[in-house]
Structures are given as C-alpha cells and as structure tokens.
Amino acid sequence: MKKILVTGSNGLLGQKIVYNLLDRGNFEIIATARGENRLKEKNGYEFVSLDITDENAISDVFEKHQPNVVINTAAMTNVDQCESEKEACWELNVIAVKYLAQASEKHNSHLIHLSTDFVFDGEDGPYTEGDEPNPLHYYAESKLASERILQDYNIKWSIARTIIIYGIVDDMSRSNLVLWAKSSIENKQTINVVNDQYRSPTLAEDLAEGCILIAEKEAEGIFHLSGPETHCILDLVYMVADYYDLDKSYIKPITSVSLNQAAKRPPKTGFIIDKAKEVLGYNPVGFREGIKILEDQIKEKEK
C-alpha cells in the first residue's frame, strides 16, 4: 500500500484529509502536526509530531517513513499576521516548503502543496491555472514563492490553489464565514460585510477530496480547487442569513477601503475549475448545499 504523509493534520484541511483517507482505506497514513495530535479519531493511522520549519526533523521523518505522497497543508494563513510577522511567515510558508521539496527529491515523493487565490491581484477573476499571478500582499507573495520552489526541484509536484475554506474542526475551535455570520446575527450583533470582494467559497471536505484525487491520479501541475460559485462576500452572508432565516438588518454592507486592513485584498478572484473537473473528476457542492452539510455536521456533534 502507498504511504501518504499529511502535514498540518490538526488544521481544518489537514483534519478533513486524514478522515477522508481513513474512509478510503487505500493509503497508509502518516498524519503530522506541530505539537500534540488534536484529531478526535486516534486510530487507523500513525501520528508523528512534526514542525515543518525544522529541517532535520523533516529529514528524519522522511527517512523513517519514506512517503510516496506528501500533502502540505501547514501554513501561516492569517493574512494580516503575515504582514506584521514577515520573518515567521516566510520561514513557514516558503523556507519549510523548500525543506519538504528537498526531502521529496531525495525520497522520490510526490509533493502536493496548498496555495491560494490571493496569488492573483483580483482585477480580472475568475481565474484559470494559466493566468498570471500578481500578489498584492506578503502572505500572497510567500505562497507564490512557495509555488515556484516546487518547480525548482526535480520532483513530481502539484499545487492545489483554493479560496475561503469553510468547515468545522473536531473541537470546533475554528470559526468560518458561515459560523461567524450565523452566530453574530443570532447574538444580535451588527456585522460589517464587504460588498466589493468576490470569492468562490470552498467546503473543506471538497478540497480534501480534490487533494486526494490528485494523489490517487498522480496528477501533476497546478489545480484550481474551489467551490463552483463565485459571489460577492456580502451576497454569501445574505445566503447564510436566508438559509437560517435570520434578520438581515444586522448585516451592514461596507466597502473594502473603509476596513483599512494592513494587507490589501484582491477585489475579484474566484476560480474556473474546469481543469480539476476534467482531469480529477472534482465535483464540489454549491454554497447553499455546503451550508446544509455544515449544519448537519454540527447537529451530529450536538447529539
């Protein structure tokens, strides 16, 4: 059986990948994360604590486990934190990817790496894999630099770019667009929502499936793995409010300029996902269906 190593297995995507792999049962799984294992399910895979900024630790883990495939989900994902902690961002989002590429080259592993719609400037979305990146902030620069690193090594590589992931983690420690909008309005808090940024939200389970399809099909190159619909963020929040029948007067439309964020966000991204559909058989759910899946998962947890 082929061995697959997942980095960042405590993260949102990392958790979904491990659970999907457990369901499939066609890979030997090595789940790795910084610190302790926070997955609720502890059986059916091997857990190894791995900080991917530690070059020696990566060497040791690859030496011991000889993975055929590696999926790197670990990253500094908070855009404004990347702006204020540039050194730490570069170390994790770029230098650590170099360590993984080096080890993948040495052990002949297929390296699948996660990237973002933010590599584009958002002037001309939705984007295909062939469109020209033009990052607007440090997080985006770091992710684009990491994409280029993969291409510098003599390895089998794949880049899975994605957009606004929504989903729940085992301990419900992470919020997302749906949970934030729902809980704020239910608590009668007015929320400011931008009306000039367009995105294709991605259900975490769909993204995990896409990454695993890349691994199974040994599909190389860049893949755009997002949800199938592109909407303005304001409209996404209205869709959440409609779904739960919430009072929309708590939603205050604003422009991006008024937010005054440290890192300027691209106005209109969104992906054209035809390549992933054709090559991988990727078939993500629409946003309304995704909200329903999330709701069912939360109900299941509350039982």
Ligand X SMILES: NC(=O)c1ccc[n+]([C@@H]2O[C@H](COP(=O)([O-])OP(=O)(O)OC[C@H]3O[C@@H](n4cnc5c(N)ncnc54)[C@H](OP(=O)(O)O)[C@@H]3O)[C@@H](O)[C@H]2O)c1
Residues forming the site for ligand X (CB under 6 A):
7-8, 10-14, 33-35, 51-53, 73-75, 77, 92, 114, 116, 162-165
Of 5 and 219, which CB lies nearer to ligand X in the complex structure?
A: 5
Of 11 and 290, which CB lies nearer to ligand X in the complex structure?
A: 11
Of 61 and 155, which CB lies nearer to ligand X in the complex structure?
A: 61
In the complex, the smallest distance separating the C-beta of residue 188 from ligand X, rounded to whole angstroms, is 27
Strand partners, 111: 70, 157
In the complex, the smallest distance separating the C-beta of residue 19 from ligand X, rounded to whole angstroms, is 13
Q: Are 117 and 163 in contact (CB under 8 A)?
A: yes
In the complex, the smallest distance separating the C-beta of residue 169 from ligand X, rounded to whole angstroms, is 7
Of 73 and 197, which CB lies nearer to ligand X in the complex structure?
A: 73
Token pair 């069912």 in the structure block, residue: 296
Of 12 and 194, which CB lies nearer to ligand X in the complex structure?
A: 12
Order the strands of the 27-33 sheet from edge to edge. Answer: 46-49, 27-33, 2-7, 69-72, 110-116, 157-162, 221-224
In the complex, the smallest distance separating the C-beta of residue 163 from ligand X, rounded to whole angstroms, is 6
Task: Write the CB contacts of 25 (distance below 8 Å, at least 6 apart in sequence).
Answer: none
Of 45 and 250, which CB lies nearer to ligand X in the complex structure?
A: 45
Q: Are 17 and 73 in contact (CB under 8 A)?
A: yes
In the complex, the smallest distance separating the C-beta of residue 85 from ligand X, rounded to whole angstroms, is 12
In the complex, the smallest distance separating the C-beta of residue 7 from ligand X, rounded to whole angstroms, is 6
